[in-house]
Amino acid sequence: MSGFGPPLAGKRILLGISGGIAAYKSAMLARLLKKAGAEVRVVMTEGAQAFITPLTLQALTGEAVRTSLLDPEAEAGMGHIELARWAELVLIAPATADLMARLAHGHADDLLTTLCLATTAECVLAPAMNQAMWAHPATRDNTRRLEGHGWRLLGPDSGDQACGDIGAGRMLEPEAIVEQLLMAPNAASDRAPEAAPPAATHEPVTGDAAGLTLTLTAGPTREALDPVRYLSNHSSGKMGYALAAAAAARGARVRLISGPVALGTPAGVERVDVTSADEMLAAVREAVADSDVFIGCAAVADYRAARPAEHKIKKTDETDTLTLELVKNPDIIATIAAETPRPFVVGFAAETRDLEAYARDKLARKNLDMIVANDVSRPGLGFGADDNAALVLWRDGLGGEGRRELPAQSKSALAEAVIDQVIARFRERASTNASVSRQDCR
């Protein structure tokens, strides 16, 4: 992980810990927040203390850990109000389904929920629960309600769970949570604790992408070899998530079809978690039915096992080699580009040589409207890095082509530049099609 910079230095962070197995990760989270220069105080629910002791968190933060709303000594000075006023950021990790439900409905039946109602600080939570609980309609409703109240959600991640299930619901790793806090637009702000949290709004969304519906894919896919092993790649999903955030901020309705990544859902984005290429294609086909633009940013595995093993493949002493039969995965972006009707289709090309030649070939061969190509062999750019550069190529609908180079910059800045090009080219294509239609009607 990259070294932590100054955005969290001196920030007063109240770390809330609720009662889930992921509470053990909160010790590392507290340590990383302290390492980043933050002041950290901890509040634990009764359930959290069944998984990790207050003494552990006290040793890591150097501050007494609060566990009870009815602590006579602390409440002699209205301790929960003092904590609520002290915090610049309230971070709850893990946030269980029960805690999220209580927060969503304004309960104040323990110290943590009470101070959340009393604080005007920025509020963030990292969900952690069984995959079925995360997918339940009640949890989805509570999530929307919390976001409407100004809460920001980080995660959850997808993968193996302590109960043995596999799916979305894992708490993000502590390193990913801190990275997300560092990337937040207001991470370095000096907002006073009296400032009000973001309020839910029902005003019309404005921006140059208002009225557009955009579907995009991000991250890797995982193709099972057996119940514990898979084929995948190094995609972090950062570029796709940055594109989703940029489009949503400019007024688009954004649907994000995501492979397994350790990233929080951008504000205002509808996220669907998938694992394999087949799952991603099915989700994309459903989403693009009423989409104006489709951006295929995911690093989809080209091949999958022809017959995934039912049980874990065992190493044997008889041979030093293992032969796997692989079959091609569906080409998601080519499939969408071949359908009629179809949205404006934008592809990505990650290459290690002959960047423009391969990108032009892919643009034509897959019948794309636009392609964003980047050289992942360049040090410090591409997979896993925070920066990237790109070459954008497009077809104008009348047989002509365009070209624009976007220099190395942060992935968030590059995402803005790419969305600039997507919106401009989409509007240009729509205008061209309308003009051709008018001529045909003469």
Catalytic residues: 163
Strand partners, 272: 257
Residue 302 marked ligand-binding: yes
Backbone torsions φ then ψ of 283, nearest 5 degrees: -70, -40
Residue 109 annotated in ligand binding? no
Buried b (16+ CB within 10 A) or exposed e, 58-87: eebbeeebbbebeeeebeeeebbeebbbeb
331 labeled binding residue: yes
The residues near 356 (Cβ < 8 Å, ≥ 6 apart) are 373, 391, 393
Q: What share of the chain is helix, strand, coil (3-state, %, to 5)?
A: 35, 25, 40
92 in a known ligand binding site: no
Residue 160, annotated as binding a ligand:
no
Q: Is 315 annotated as a binding residue?
A: no
Q: Annotated binding residue at 332? A: yes
* Cα 300 from Cα 235, distance rounded (Å): 9
As a whole number of angstroms, the distance between CA 92 and CA 28 comes to 14
Angle at 310 between CA 309 and CA 315, to 5 degrees: 55
Q: Is 366 annotated as a binding residue?
A: yes
| 317 marked ligand binding residue | no
CA distance 125 to 153: 5
Residues 6+ apart with CB under 8 A from 190: none
Report whether 312 belongs to an annotated binding site: yes
CA-to-CA distance for 424 and 403, rounded, in angstroms? 13
As annotated, the binding site includes 296-298, 302, 312, 330-333, 348, 362, 366
As annotated, the binding site for CTP includes 296-298, 302, 312, 330-333, 348, 362, 366
